């Protein structure tokens, strides 16, 4: 005997919806206090991680001036930072040693290969 499959749909809630000030509690369920607390935590984490961008420099040490290049670099850096933070939190929750995790992350950076070679002025 084959039993019918029960299909249940839940409303999809994106980070953007959680980040909005006028959160619709009907969509989010019966726990608006918990949702508001999570939204605040996500926003503060995201804001604090994306505030401190470096001043991007060319190979001679002069700051980049192209706004679009800086924007792309900052977006990439912010995404990497968030991804690395999430990976660290997962590792710690699963019992990984923090210092070992940091060493592994440093080694990943060291293993990156420059496909364009060294700049002309650095031999």
pLDDT, averaged in runs of 10, over the chain (123 residues): 59 52 50 67 57 89 92 95 95 96 96 83 51
In the prediction, which pLDDT does 23 show?
A: 46
pLDDT at 55: 93
> In this predicted structure, what is the pLDDT of residue 118?
73
Report CA-CA distances (Å) from 109 to 41, 80, 99: 28, 12, 16
Which of 61, 55, 69 lies closest to 119, judged by CA? Answer: 61
pLDDT given at position 21: 46
Contact status, residue 29 vs residue 35, Cβ threshold 8 Å: yes
Does the pTM surpass 0.75? The reply is no
């Amino acid at each position: 005997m084959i039993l019918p499959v029960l299909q249940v749909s839940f409303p999809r809630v994106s980070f953007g919806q959680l980040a909005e000030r006028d959160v619709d509690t009907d969509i989010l369920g019966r726990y608006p206090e918990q949702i508001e607390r999570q939204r605040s935590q996500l926003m503060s984490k995201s804001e604090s991680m994306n505030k401190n961008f470096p001043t991007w420099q060319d190979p001679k040490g002069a700051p980049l001036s192209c706004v679009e290049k800086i924007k792309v670099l900052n977006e990439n850096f912010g995404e990497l930072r968030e991804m690395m933070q999430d990976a660290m939190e997962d590792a710690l929750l699963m019992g990984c040693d923090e210092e070992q995790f940091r060493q592994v992350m440093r080694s990943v950076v060291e293993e990156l290969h420059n496909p364009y070679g060294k700049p002309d002025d650095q031999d």
